[in-house]
Amino acid sequence: MDCMWTDATFILFWLHVYTWLPGHCHLYNNRYDGDKVIRIVPKNDIEAYELKALYSKLQVDLWQPSSLSYIGKDTVTDVRTSNNSSQTLLTYLRNSNIQHTILVNNLQKVIEKQNVSGTQRYRRSLSRYNYEEYHSLDEIERWMHHMNKTYPHLVSMFSIGKSYEGRPLYVLKLGKKASRFRKKAIWIDCGIHAREWIGPVFCQWFVKEALNTYHLDPSMKKILTLLNVYIMPVFNVDGYHYSWTTDRFWRKTRSKYRFNCFGVDANRNWKVKWCEEGASLHPCDNTYCGPYAESEPEVQAASQFLYKQRKHIRAYLSIHSYAQMLLYPYSYQYEAIPNYHCVASAASNAVHALQTAYGVLYQHGPASSTLYLSSGSSIDWAYNNGIPYTFAFELRDTGYYGFLLPESLIKPTCTETMLAVKNIALHILKKCR
C-alpha cells in the first residue's frame, strides 16, 4: 500500500522537516568554511619578520601566541586563516621553504562535527545537568541559580557588577559558613577570553566536585571548612555570549569606543604596567589594552571586589586555554617575585598532582619567561595588590584541537585540573617561609 505510514516514511518525513527548519542551517552562518589552522615555525629572525608582515597584511587570527609581538625565531605559531588568505600564505610558505603543518583543513567542518551550539540539543533538567558539555551563558546562569538554591548551606551567589552590555557578573561563593572567624579565601575566574570554552566548563566542574565530594573527601571538607572559594564561571560574559551566537573565535570583551573595532583584551586591561610590553594600542588587535586601565566594566568590577577582599584572599586563579602551562607572576618583567620559592613549589606540586591522573605534562614557571611578556594581566595585578599566590592555568591541549577541544576531553581535562587546584588550595593552608 502506497500511503501506509510506516516507521521508515515517518523518519524520512521528519528528516525532511528537520532539514527545512530555520534553525538547521550552518552554524555561525558558515563563516569558517575553508578556514585553516596552520602551525608555522620560523627558523630565523628574517623569516619571523617576513611572516609577521604577511600575517598583518592577511589579517590572520593568531591562536597561539596571541600577538604578533611575541613571534620571533623558533616561535611555534598557530594561525587561523580565511579560505582566500590561506592559499596566499601556503604558497609563500612552500616557496620560502618554511616549516609548517596544517592542523585543521576546514574549520567549519570541525565546528559542524562538534555541533555544541545547544540549539538542537535536548534540554535536560537542571538536576541532571551535563558537566561534560559546553553550555551557553543562559544555561550557565540558570545552573548557578539552581546551585545557589539547592545548596544553601554551602553556596551563595551574588553579582559584582554589570558588563558593558549590561549583563550581571555573577560569582558563586562556596564554603561552610563560619560564625567565629573571618575565613581565608581563594578566587577562581574562568572565561576572561571568550573563545577558551574549556574555562567556564572547569569552573562548573569545580563547583560540582566540591559539593559532591564535601562529605566523602577529607581534603575537600578541609578546603570548604577553612576557606571560602569564590568562583566566577564566566568573566567576559558579553564576549562568551558572542562566541556562541556570532563568532566562535572571539577573544575580547564587546565594548566599543571611538573606533571601528570592538572589544578589549580583558587580560591586558588591569592597572599594572598598563599597555606596556606585550599589549597592543591598536583597537583591532586581539591584545588591545583598551583606551585606559580598567576601561572594561568587567575588569573594574573584579578588581574592586578583589581589592576589598585582598586581606582574606590567599590565592587568585585564572583559567585559560590552550598551552598546558601553570604560570605565575611576573608577566610584565623577568625579575623573580619576592616569595618565588613558595609560589614555585606550589606550582611544581600542583603540576605533579595533575600529571598523576593521565600523565599529561604541564610546563610551569613565571609567565614572562615561560609564555611571553605581557602587561596589564590579572595575575600581576592580583599579586601586586597583596594576594600572595596568583596563577594562570593554560589548560589542554597544545594545539591539536586548540580552542575546539572536543567534549569527550572535558572529563579528563577537568579531572586532572581539579587535582592541581585542590593541591594549591591545600598548599596555601600551610605556612611557607
Q: How far apart are the first and last CA of the chain?
A: 86
Estimate the crossing angle of helix 237-245 against helix 137-150, to 10 degrees: 130
Q: Are 191 and 234 in contact (CB under 8 A)?
A: yes
CA distances from 197 to 133, 194, 374 (A): 10, 7, 22
Q: Is 394 a catalytic residue?
A: yes
Compute the distance between CA of residue 15 and CA of residue 51 in angstroms, rounded to an integer: 47
Q: Which is nearer to Zn ion, 320 or 364 (CB)?
A: 320
Q: Position of cell 620560502? A: 96
Q: Of the listed pieces 86-94, 296-304, 317-325, 421-429, which binds Zn ion according to CB under 5 A?
A: 317-325
The C-alpha cell at 16 is: 525532511
Contacting residue, 39, 193, 252, 364, with Zn ion by CB under 5 A: 193
Closest residue to Zn ion, based on beta-carbon distance: 320
Contacting residue, 320, 364, 422, 427, with Zn ion by CB under 5 A: 320
Q: Which is nearer to Zn ion, 69 or 213 (CB)?
A: 69
Q: Which is nearer to Zn ion, 320 or 396 (CB)?
A: 320
Q: Are 343 and 389 in contact (CB under 8 A)?
A: yes
Q: Of the listed pieces 6-14, 148-156, 193-201, 421-429, which binds Zn ion according to CB under 5 A?
A: 193-201
Catalytic residue, from 298, 394, 407, 416: name it: 394
Compute the distance between CA of residue 337 and CA of residue 344 in angstroms, rounded to an integer: 10
Count of chain residues binding Zn ion (CB under 5 A): 3
**CB of residue 342 vs Zn ion: minimum separation in angstroms?**
25
Q: Are 238 and 251 in contact (CB under 8 A)?
A: no
Q: Of the listed pieces 19-27, 28-36, 189-197, 373-381, which binds Zn ion according to CB under 5 A?
A: 189-197
Q: Which is nearer to Zn ion, 88 or 363 (CB)?
A: 363
Residue at 195: amino acid letter: R
**CB of residue 319 vs Zn ion: minimum separation in angstroms?**
9
According to DSSP, the residues that pair with 316 across neighbouring strands are: 187, 390
Task: Provide the 3-class DSSP secondary structure of residue 15.
Answer: helix
Q: Which is nearer to Zn ion, 139 or 196 (CB)?
A: 196
**CB of residue 209 vs Zn ion: minimum separation in angstroms?**
23
Q: Of the listed pieces 85-93, 194-202, 270-278, 292-300, which binds Zn ion according to CB under 5 A?
A: 194-202
Q: Which is nearer to Zn ion, 252 or 427 (CB)?
A: 252
Q: Which is nearer to Zn ion, 100 or 193 (CB)?
A: 193
Question: CB under 8 Å to 427, separation ≥6 — which residues?
Answer: 345, 346, 349, 350, 389
Q: Burial letters for 367-397: b for 16+ Cβ neighbours within 10 Å, e otherwise?
A: bbebbbbbbbbbbbbbbbbebbbbbbbbbbb
Is residue 248 a contact point for Zn ion (CB under 5 A)?
A: no
CA distances from 1 to 5, 6, 9, 355 (A): 10, 10, 12, 63
Q: Of the listed pieces 17-25, 82-90, 216-224, 315-323, which binds Zn ion according to CB under 5 A?
A: 315-323
Task: Provide the 3-class DSSP secondary structure of residue 5.
Answer: coil
Question: CB under 8 Å to 90, separation ≥6 — which residues?
Answer: 38, 100, 102
Contact set with Zn ion (CB under 5 A): 193, 196, 320
- Active site members: 394
